[in-house]
Amino acid sequence: MLALLDHGIRSKKDLEFLLEKIPRYSKPKRELEQYETPSHIVAHILWLSLLRGDVTGRTIVDLGCGMARFAIGALILGASRAYCIDVDPDITLFSATCVKNIYTSIYNRLIHLVCDIRDLEMAGVDTVFMNPPFGVYHGNRGIDMIFLKKALMMSNSVYTIHKYSPGVDKL
């Protein structure tokens, strides 16, 4: 809990406020379904994972990280290290630069990797966070399930967001 106090975190709202400092990426690629996960949703998921013991001292992976909100928040909450995985080198570089300039105290525990999720093999992961592409863009059908399978191969603790489709519960 010392890490929380180091960053002035006493509540989920404090975490949300710190995550709001992450700048928006101005050149999202539609074909990659890049969209920002709102800070209040990231803070809620991270706070829940913290209470469940899935953050403090853990190795975190943020799949399809974009601006690395989950990874940054997890490090602020006391994760030992975080890997940010994204297929887009542009957003990965932008994110790494932002972290270096804004969150200097966690920068040395954050590793950015440019990699297609289908080619990723990782071990030693405690917790996975992700808001993957939903597969709504032509050519991306089923990509969310590829992300989910990959996450479940890495860790038993997976926090993810998926698009609900009416009728899917009848399958």
For 57-109, how does the pLDDT look when each residue is reduced to its tens digit (9 = 90+)?
999 999 999 899 999 999 999 999 999 999 999 989 989 999 999 988 999 99
Q: Give the model's pLDDT for residue 42.
A: 95
Is residue 139 very low, low, confident or very high in pLDDT (cuts 50, 70, 90)? Answer: confident
Complete DSSP assignment for 43-97: HHHHHHHHHTTSSTT-EEEEET-TTTHHHHHHHHTT-SEEEEEES-HHHHHHHHH
Q: Give the model's pLDDT for residue 109.
A: 96
For 28-71, how does the pLDDT look when each residue is reduced to its tens digit (9 = 90+)?
777 767 688 899 999 999 999 999 999 999 999 999 998 999 99
Residues 6 or more apart in contact with residue 54 via CB below 8 angstroms: 126, 127, 157, 159
Q: Give the model's pLDDT for residue 5.
A: 47
* pLDDT of 161 above 70: yes
Angle at 56 between CA 81 and CA 83, to 5 degrees: 20
CA-wise closest residue to 71 among 40, 35, 52, 96:
96
* pLDDT of 2 above 50: no
The whole-number average pLDDT for the span 17-22 is 92
pTM, two decimal places: 0.87
